[in-house]
């Protein structure tokens, strides 16, 4: 579980091959709750990348992301890909 974590103005750049996000690139299970991203930029990854999580297979609740997300095959403000 990741709980009550805030990130302010994170900068995620580079050449990741698959997943990238401000909080986690690939979240495969569990719960992210009460977390946020305020400002910043995610511009990385060829597959999924998102403001909070690049690829999510867990539960995200009571979270928000206000961040710029650029490029990639799947891109999203909160999660690039959600399973």
Burial 37-69 (b: 16+ CB within 10 A, else e): beebbbbbbebbbbbbbbbbebebeebebebeb
- Mean pLDDT over 58-74 rounds to 92
Kindly report, residue by residue over 7-45, the tens digit of the pLDDT: 999 999 877 678 999 999 999 999 999 999 999 999 876
- Mean pLDDT over 51-78 rounds to 93
Whole-number pLDDT of residue 72? 76
pLDDT of 62 over the 90 cut? yes
Averaged pLDDT of the chain: 92
Whole-number pLDDT of residue 45? 65
pLDDT of 49 over the 80 cut? yes
- Pairing state of beta strands 31-33 and 59-61? parallel
């Amino acid at each position: 579980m990741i709980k009550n974590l805030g990130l302010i103005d994170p900068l995620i750049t580079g050449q990741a091959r698959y997943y990238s996000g401000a909080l986690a690139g690939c979240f495969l299970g569990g719960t992210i709750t009460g977390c946020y991203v305020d400002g910043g930029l995610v511009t990385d990854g060829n597959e999924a990348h998102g403001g909070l999580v690049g690829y999510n297979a867990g539960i995200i609740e009571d979270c928000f992301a206000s961040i710029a997300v650029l490029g990639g095959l799947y891109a999203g403000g909160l999660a690039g890909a959600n399973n």
